[in-house]
Structure 1
Amino acid sequence: MLWTRERSYSVLVVDSITLITGLPANLLALYIFIRKVKERPTPLDVLLLSLTISDLLFLLFLPLSINEAANMKWTMSFFLCPLSGFIYYSTIHNSTLLLTAISVERYLGVAFPVKYKLKRNPRYAVIASVIFWALSMGHCSIVYIVEYHKHSNDTLNYLSNRTSCYKEFNREQLKLLLPVRLELFIVMFCIPFLICCFCYINFILILSRLPNFNTQKRSRAIGLALVTLLVFIICFIPFNVSHVVGFIEGDSPSWRVYTVLPCTFNACLDPFVFYFSSSAVRGTFNHMMQRFLNWLHRSFGQKFSCLLLGRTTAYEERTQSSNDTSR
C-alpha cells in the first residue's frame, strides 16, 4: 500500500489531534482512578483504570505512526514495526471488551441492584481485565506471525525495501491473516457490540420506568449509553467491516487504511465515557473548569472592565467638552 499525500495528511491530522487531546485527558483520568482504587475500589473503577491504561499505551506508540506518515514510509527499526502494530491493534480490541464490560456492570447495577450489590467485588473486575488483555494480545499476536512469516527466499530484501509497516501483504501472508480478521470481527466485535446494545437499551428502559429517579442521574446514564454506542459505531464498525470485505474478496481492501483513522479517535472519546461513568472524574473536571473560569475572570475580566471604564470616561469627557463649546 503506497503512501499518498492525501493519506499522509489524513493520518497526520487525526493522529496529532488524538495525541494532543487524548494524552492529557487520559493522564488526568489515570491519576483519578489510581487514587480511587487505592482508597475504595469498585469494579467500575478497576475497569475504567484498565481502559485508561489501554488508551495511554495506544497513545504512547502513536508517535511512530505520525513519524511514518510524515516521512510517507517506515524509516525506523524493523523491530518496532510489529511491536507498534501489536500494541495498536491489541489496545483497540481491548477497548471494545472493556467498554462492553462497563455496559454489563452498569446494567447489572440497575437490573439486579440487591443481588449485584451483595456480590459486587473489584477482584472480579481485575480478573476480567486480565482475561481481556490476554484475549486481545493473543488474537493480535497474528501481527508477529505475519510479519516474520517467510514468504520467499529473500525475506530480508523484502523487509529492507518495504514502504509501510504492516500494510503490505503477499498471497501467503493473506492466507494466514484474512481468516483471523474474520474471527476478530465475530469474537472481538460482533459479540461485544450485541452485548453492549442489549445492556444499554435495557439500562435506559429500566431507568425510564423508575418514577423517583434523579433526573440528572438519568441524563448522565443516557449520556454514558449514547457515548459508548457512538464509540462502537463511529470508531469500530468501519474497521471491522473491512475484515469481512477483505475475507470475501480474498485481499485487503484499498480503503482499509482509512478505517483505522476512526479507531484512533477512540483514545480521545473514551474520556467522555469516564466523565459520564465516574463522579470522581466529573468532580475533578468541574473543579478544574471552575478554577479556569476564575482565572479568566481575574486575568481578562478586570482588563475588560478597565477598558470599558476608560472608554466611558473618554466619552463623558468628549460630551462635556462638546457641551462647553455649545455654550
Structure 2
Amino acid sequence: ITLFSKFIHSDEQLYTNFYSLWIVLMVVNAIIFLVGVVLNSLALYVFCFRTKTKTTSVIYTINLIITDLLVGFSLPVRIIMFYSAGDCKNCSLVHIFGYFVNMYCSILFLTCICVDRYLAIVQVEASRKWRNPTCAKGICIFIWIFATVVTFSILAMAIKFAECCLSKILVLMVCEYFFPLIIIIFFTTRIMCALSKPSLMHQSRERRMRAVQLLITVLIIFMICFTPFHVLQVAIFINPDMPDNISLIVYHVTVTLSSLNSCMDPIVYCFVTNNFQATMKNIFRKTEPEQTNADITGTNKNSKGS
C-alpha cells in the first residue's frame, strides 16, 4: 500500500464523491487565480522596474512574487489537466510536484523576509556583511534547489513505499514548514521586544511599526494558508487509518487555503518598500508612478550599506 493515496488526493476522487464541493472549490480557485495573478503581476512590475535599488528585501520579495505567480498559473493548469487527462496519475504528479515546490518556496521566502527585517532593524551593524544582494541571490538559489529536492523526496517516498516511511516524511515536512514557522514566531517576538528598547527609539515610529506589521502579517498568512494543510499531514501521521472521505475533503479544502497565499502576500509587499501602495495607486490612476524607495530600511542611515 503506497502512502500517495493517504497524503495526496486527486481531483478525480473529489469530483466523483463530492461533486458539489468540487464545483465550489473550483470557483474559489478561479477567483484566487484572477486576483492573485493581477496583484502579483503588478507587484512584479513595481519591484522590477519601479524600484531603484535591489536590496535584500526586494530580492526576496521578487522571488516570492514569482512563486505566487507560478502557484496562480498552476490552478488553471490543474483544471485543464483534469478535463484533458482525467485520472492520469503521471499528469497529476507533474502538477502536484510543481505546486508543492512553489508552496514551500513561498514559505521559505516569507521566512527570509522576516529574518531580513529583524536583522535590518535590530542587528544593523552585525548583519551588514550578510545583508547584501549577492548573499540574498545565493540564498534564493539555495531555496529553489532545496524546496525542489525535498518535495521530490517526499513524493517519491509517498509513491513508492509503505507506512515505514511516515516518520521520514514528517521530518521533511518539519524542515519545510514547522521549522520556518518557529523561526517566524521567534523573530516576531524578538523584534517586538527589541523595538521597545531605548536604543532603537531613534528609528522613526513609522519604520518600527512597518516592521511589526510585516512580521505579524506573515504570521497570519502562515496560520491561515499553510497551517491547516500541515496539521492534516500530522493527523495522518498520528492516525494512518483516517477515513478516506474525511482526508479527501480536508485535503482539498486545505490545499485551496494554501493557494490563498498568492492573494494575501501582496499585503506583505506593502511593508517592504516605502511607497509601494502609492505606486500601485498611481498605476491604477494611469499616471506615471514614481520609483519606489528600495527598502524601508533604506531611509535609515545605519543600513544604507546593505
TM-score by length of 2: 0.77
For residues 1-327 of structure 1, the aligned pairs below 5 Å read 2-3=13-14, 4-35=18-49, 39-67=52-80, 75=86, 79-142=90-153, 145=156, 149=160, 173-175=161-163, 178-209=166-197, 210-251=200-241, 253-254=247-248, 255-289=250-284
Identity %: 26
The alpha-carbon distance between structure 1 residues 140 and 103, as it changes in their structure 2 partners (threshold 3 A), is: same
Query: Could you give the per-residue CA deviations for residues 142-175 of structure 1, whole angstroms, max 9, x where no partner exists?
Result: 47636874xxxxxxxxxxxxxxxxxxxxxxx553
Task: Give the corresponding residue for 1:167.
Answer: none
Alignment partners' CA distance in 2, 1:187 and 1:230: 20
Q: CA deviation at 1:15?
A: 0.9
Task: Give the corresponding residue for 2:303.
Answer: none
When the two structures are aligned, how many residues end up with a matched partner? 266
**Which structure has more RCO (C-alpha within 8 Å, separation ≥ 6)?**
2
More helix by share: 1
Contact kept in structure 1, 2:229 and 2:255, CA below 8 Å? yes
The alpha-carbon distance between structure 1 residues 105 and 81, as it changes in their structure 2 partners (threshold 3 A), is: same
Query: Could you give the per-residue CA deviations for residues 95-114 of structure 1, whole angstroms, max 9, x where no partner exists?
Result: 11111111110001111112
Q: Structure 2: which amino acid aligns with 1:277? A: V
Contact kept in structure 2, 1:181 and 1:244, CA below 8 Å? no
Q: Structure 2: which amino acid aligns with 1:236? A: F
Contact kept in structure 2, 1:181 and 1:243, CA below 8 Å? no
Alignment partners' CA distance in 2, 1:280 and 1:123: 24
What's the Cα RMSD here? 2.7
Alignment partners' CA distance in 2, 1:81 and 1:250: 22
Q: CA deviation at 1:44?
A: 0.9
Alignment partners' CA distance in 1, 2:30 and 2:165: 29
Alignment partners' CA distance in 2, 1:104 and 1:193: 12
